[in-house]
């Protein structure tokens, strides 16, 4: 039975609490609220974000780093971000320090360049994570992890097993990490981390979801994959349960009914888990007061107490169909849809693809998201639309077969053994996925390609890989004096070309998604990639609701829409809240007329 007290799991909490789930379901909110509640009870707590696009700083209105810092205004609570870039730089320094005195400056620079990719960043972040499990945990009663969206988190949690298996019998380390990396020396720490994660007395995995079909499907899939990794102590937290206050409000009743339908049809994998249900709040979950209210409730809302007297803001913002018209005029190109997890990137990407097909174009719709949902969103075949995904396992197998076929003939048995050993490294997946991404990017030279990207942090790692590849190509061509060096076109250069690529940032009209999209925009601009447009998704503005909780949320929506329109977006489009989740070609086409 579900707990009647929000986060009943805190009644007897384990030392480690992992909050994970689909992007946008409220992992950070619940992780922060849980950490705060434990600290208020007198426990010493360390809150850690493993998300490359962490927003803990905004939640607590303070500046955090990759070292624990006390949270102002809260005794016994410290927080930190595992900064992938800082962790990677520290890791690079340790590797370079192991190089012998006879290594030249050029060789050192070559090693540093090979350590600049996303794989190194992932390994370094994981090494930091393992260190926290092994050492810092002893200084705190509880360690609460606010994780990245599901696909990235599954990758992180599977690394102990992946690296432990790879290191067995391998005393060289992985070539993708650079020579003399000393990775073998970390093997015992990796094994200890895996044991800690799988110990039900030590670790609880909190699967966070919303009363939404897609979020529940992903929670069920995640539950099964984590159990396969040996992480069996799981708890389900359903966030954002809405009950209409104004029983005569059709919009409010519709939202409530949709949630009830989802809760009544929980996937089998989730039904047996202990469960908490957290109600939807009318306020932004930012700041200590708001975070304490998440679990303590809020004052009763009366129907007559709140009215929505402001004029409809959506009249000045073009609809999604206008954006499709503009994109279609180019005749071909790459359209990348980006944003925080849970903002509706997949829906927007699918709608843009369907809209382009309806306007007479052939479209390749794909995704880089490890937790891909394109198939369930499209639901049916459509002439002129090709739908697939970059599957890491398939791409890795294809890459390994290609490398073996091209190099095996020139190697003896010892060389083949070394090659197979290198290709068994988890780093191979990074290389394979990047090759697949590059291949799809190049398709847009003659057709439309719509790419639904992974949530922000994972996408930034992919951009980092593109940058590392670009620098290596330019450096190599320059060093060789290749005549064609000036004609090299890398995937990063394609993304930087506004005539070739259109970057669409998607956000909900809420503080955190807007802030994260703004941060992503700045990251892209530092890479000389200029976003083409923003899309505000699922806005209640203009819905006509009079429910007091929804109306209070509307006031916050308008403030965020003005924030985007007045200072962030060069072009802004809006997709209003839909009473029925848009799935299938017909429903998607209706969004872009």
Q: Of 230-239, 330-339, 476-485, give the lowest mean pLDDT range.
A: 476-485
- Structure tokens belonging to residue 355: 């809209």
The answer, yes or no, to whether residue 536 has pLDDT greater than 50, is: yes
Domain boundary among 249, 264, 298: 298
Give the residue, 533 or 370, on which the prediction is more confident: 533
Please state the rounded mean pLDDT for residues 144-168. 58
Q: Both 283 and 318 in a single domain?
A: no
Split into its structural domains, the chain has a count of: 2
Backbone phi, psi, residue 127, to 5°: -60, -40
The answer, yes or no, to whether residue 133 has pLDDT greater than 50, is: yes
Give the contacts of 263 (CB within 8 A, at least 6 positions apart): 211, 238, 241
Q: Both 65 and 203 in a single domain?
A: yes
The answer, yes or no, to whether residue 118 has pLDDT greater than 70, is: no
Pair 151, 368: CB distance under 8 Å = no
The answer, yes or no, to whether residue 492 has pLDDT greater than 80, is: no
Pair 338, 53: CB distance under 8 Å = no
Q: Report the distance separating Cα 241 and Cα 210, nearest Å.
A: 7
Q: Both 326 and 188 in a single domain?
A: no
Pair 533, 369: CB distance under 8 Å = no
Give the residue, 376 or 544, on which the prediction is more confident: 544
Q: Both 208 and 329 in a single domain?
A: no
Question: Distance from CA of residue 366 to its chain's centroid?
Answer: 17
- The pLDDT-based confidence of 413 (bands split at 50, 70, 90) is confident
* DSSP of 27-46: HHHHHHHHHHHHHHTT--EE
Whether residue 527 lies inside any domain: the answer is: yes
* DSSP of 187-238: HHHHHHHHHHHT-TTTEEEEEEE-SSHHHHHHHHHHHHHHHHTT---EEEEE
Q: Both 217 and 270 in a single domain?
A: yes
Q: Indicate the pTM of the whole model.
A: 0.71
Range of the domain at 30: 2-298
Bridge partners of 573?
535
- Structure tokens belonging to residue 152: 């990235």
Q: Both 289 and 336 in a single domain?
A: no
Domain boundary among 248, 273, 298: 298
3-state secondary structure (DSSP) of residue 573: strand
Q: Of 272-281, 449-458, 493-502, 582-591, give the lowest mean pLDDT range.
A: 449-458
Instruction: Count how many Cα atoms sit within 13 Å of the Cα of residue 119 in the half-sphere of its side chain.
Output: 21
Q: Of 199-213, 234-248, 383-397, 410-424, give the lowest mean pLDDT range.
A: 410-424
Pair 451, 366: CB distance under 8 Å = yes
Q: Report the distance separating Cα 308 and Cα 449, nearest Å.
A: 41
Pair 370, 437: CB distance under 8 Å = no
Q: What is the pLDDT of residue 304?
A: 46
3-state secondary structure (DSSP) of residue 363: strand
Q: What is the pLDDT of residue 207?
A: 92
Instruction: Single out the residue of 396, 342, 389 nearest to residue 367, CA to CA.
Output: 389
Whether residue 423 lies inside any domain: the answer is: no
Q: What is the pLDDT of residues 460-474, one digit of tens each?
A: 555 555 555 555 555
Whether residue 411 lies inside any domain: the answer is: no
Q: Both 239 and 349 in a single domain?
A: no
Whether residue 360 lies inside any domain: the answer is: yes
Q: Both 260 and 382 in a single domain?
A: no
CATH of the domain at 384: 3.40.50.300
- Structure tokens belonging to residue 562: 């003005």
Q: Both 290 and 438 in a single domain?
A: no
Q: What is the pLDDT of residues 304-315, one digit of tens each?
A: 444 544 444 445
Over pLDDT 70: what percentage of the chain? 72
Please state the rounded mean pLDDT for residues 64-87. 82
Whether residue 412 lies inside any domain: the answer is: no
- Structure tokens belonging to residue 13: 């909490």
Whether residue 424 lies inside any domain: the answer is: no
Q: What is the pLDDT of residue 574?
A: 93
Pair 120, 92: CB distance under 8 Å = yes
- Structure tokens belonging to residue 149: 């969206």
Taking every pair of C-alpha atoms in the chain, what is the biggest distance, in angstroms?
Answer: 82
Q: Both 104 and 210 in a single domain?
A: yes
The residue whose two tokens read 């070559």 is 110
Pair 570, 533: CB distance under 8 Å = yes
Whether residue 420 lies inside any domain: the answer is: no
Q: Both 332 and 188 in a single domain?
A: no
Q: Both 368 and 235 in a single domain?
A: no
Whether residue 54 lies inside any domain: the answer is: yes
For 111-156, the three-class secondary structure string (H helix, E strand, C coil) is HHHHCCCHHHHHHHHHHHHHHHHHCHHHHCCEEEEECCCHHHHHHH
Q: What is the pLDDT of residue 528?
A: 86
Q: Report the distance separating Cα 377 and Cα 350, nearest Å.
A: 7
Give the residue, 20 or 3, on which the prediction is more confident: 20
Domain boundary among 268, 298, 328: 298
């Amino acid at each position: 039975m579900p707990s009647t007290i929000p986060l009943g799991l805190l009644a007897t909490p384990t030392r480690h609490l992992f909050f994970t789930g689909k992007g946008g379901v409220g992992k950070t909110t619940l992780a922060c609220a849980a950490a705060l509640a434990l600290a208020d009870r007198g426990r010493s707590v360390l809150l850690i974000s493993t998300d490359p696009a962490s927003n803990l700083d905004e939640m607590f209105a303070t500046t955090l780093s990759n070292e624990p810092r006390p949270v102002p205004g809260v005794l016994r609570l410290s927080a930190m971000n595992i900064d992938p870039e800082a962790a990677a730089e520290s890791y690079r320094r340790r590797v370079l320090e192991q190089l012998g005195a006879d290594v030249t400056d050029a060789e050192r620079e070559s090693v540093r360049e090979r350590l600049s990719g996303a794989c190194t960043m992932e390994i370094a972040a994981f090494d930091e994570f393992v260190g926290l499990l092994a050492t810092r945990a002893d200084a705190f009663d509880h360690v609460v992890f606010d994780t990245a969206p599901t696909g990235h988190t599954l990758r992180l949690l599977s690394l102990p097993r992946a690296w432990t298996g790879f290191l067995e019998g391998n005393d060289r380390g992985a070539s993708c990490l650079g020579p003399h990396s000393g990775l073998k020396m970390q093997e015992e720490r990796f094994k200890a981390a895996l044991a800690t994660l799988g110990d039900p007395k030590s670790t609880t995995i909190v699967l966070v979801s919303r009363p939404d079909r897609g979020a529940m499907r992903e929670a069920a899939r995640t539950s099964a994959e984590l159990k396969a990794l040996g992480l069996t102590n799981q708890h389900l937290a359903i966030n954002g349960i809405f009950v209409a206050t104004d029983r005569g409000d059709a919009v409010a009743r519709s939202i409530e009914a949709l949630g009830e339908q989802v809760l009544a049809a929980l996937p089998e994998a989730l039904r047996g888990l202990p469960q908490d249900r957290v109600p939807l709040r009318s306020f932004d979950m930012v700041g200590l007061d708001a975070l304490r209210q998440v679990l303590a409730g809020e004052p009763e809302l009366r129907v007559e107490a709140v009215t929505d007297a402001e004029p409809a803001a959506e009249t000045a913002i073009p609809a999604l169909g206008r954006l499709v018209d503009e994109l279609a005029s180019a005749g071909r190109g790459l359209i990348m849809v980006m944003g925080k997890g849970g903002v509706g990137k997949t829906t927007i990407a699918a709608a843009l693809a369907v809209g382009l097909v309806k306007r007479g174009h052939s479209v390749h719709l794909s995704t880089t998201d490890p937790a891909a949902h394109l198939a369930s969103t499209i639901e049916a075949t459509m002439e002129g639309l090709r739908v697939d995904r970059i599957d890491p396992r398939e791409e890795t197998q294809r890459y390994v077969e290609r490398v073996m076929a091209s190099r095996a003939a020139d190697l003896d048995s010892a060389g083949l053994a070394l090659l197979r050993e290198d290709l068994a490294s988890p780093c191979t997946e990074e290389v394979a996925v990047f090759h697949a991404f590059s291949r799809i990017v190049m398709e847009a030279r003659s057709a439309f390609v719509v790419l639904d990207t992974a949530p922000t942090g994972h996408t930034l790692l992919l951009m980092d890989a593109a940058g590392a590849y670009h620098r290596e190509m330019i450096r190599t061509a320059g060093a060789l004096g290749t005549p064609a060096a000036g004609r090299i076109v890398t995937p990063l250069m394609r993304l930087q070309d506004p005539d070739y690529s259109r970057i669409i940032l998607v956000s909900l009209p809420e503080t955190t998604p807007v802030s994260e999209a703004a941060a992503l925009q700045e990251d892209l601009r530092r890479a000389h990639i200029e976003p083409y447009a923003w899309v505000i998704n699922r806005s209640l503005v203009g819905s006509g609701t009079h429910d007091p909780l929804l109306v209070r949320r509307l006031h916050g929506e308008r403030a965020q829409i003005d924030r985007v329109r007045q200072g962030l977006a060069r072009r802004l489009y809006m997709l209003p809240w839909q009473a029925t989740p848009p799935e299938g070609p017909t429903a998607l086409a209706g969004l872009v007329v």
